Amino acid sequence: EAGVAQSPRYKIIEKRQSVAFWCNPISGHATLYWYQQILGQGPKLLIQFQNNGVVDDSQLPKDRFSAERLKGVDSTLKIQPAKLEDSAVYLCASSFGRGRGVNTGELFFGEGSRLTVL
């Protein structure tokens, strides 16, 4: 079974430039998450989708970050303009997520996209 696919694996940009990350979740998974993981810290949830609707984006810096999940499958996370403090690994995860109730299932993570902002 194919896992969660993410690209690119690595990206280096100058501050104030823009960047986009792509995620393809496991087939059939309704819930998709984007996490930001800064070196030495645990993953921090940025946004959670249920199919193509946003369930939670309370931690997403909306002045510079945006995310979409068209057709309830693939998702793109964009940062524009990037700041030095955005240097992190951006992890995409998916789960079965039956409805908007309690999701007790495990999350399946991709390998992450490592962003360096210079």
Partner 1 sequence: SQKIEQNSEALNIQEGKTATLTCNYTNYSPAYLQWYRQDPGRGPVFLLLIRENEKEKRKERLKVTFDTTLKQSLFHITASQPADSATYLCAPTSSSNTGKLIFGQGTTLQVKP
- Contact residues for partner 1 (CB under 8 A)? 4, 31, 33, 35, 40-45, 48, 50, 55-56, 91, 93, 95, 97, 100-104, 106-112
Nearer to partner 1, 24 or 112 (CB): 112
Nearest CB to partner 1, comparing residues 18 and 56: 56
Structure tokens at 64: 């510079």
Place of tokens 């810096």: 61
Based on C-alpha coordinates, what's the Rg of the chain?
A: 14
Q: Whose Cβ is closer to partner 1: residue 14's or residue 106's?
A: 106
Q: Name the minimum Å distance from CB 25 to partner 1.
A: 12
Query: Rounded to the nearest whole angstrom, what is the least distance from the CB of residue 52 to partner 1 in the complex?
Result: 15
Helix H, strand E, coil C: the string for 41-84 is: CCCEEEEEEECCEEEECCCCCCCCEEEECHHHCCEEEEECCCCH
How is 7-49 classified by DSSP, letter by letter? E-SEEEE-TT--EEEEEE--TT--EEEEEEE-TTS--EEEEEE
**Least Cβ distance, residue 116 to partner 1 (angstroms):** 14
Rounded to a whole number of angstroms, the minimum distance from the CB of residue 17 to partner 1 is 24
Token readout for 76 is 């793109």
19 or 50: whose CB is closer to partner 1? 50
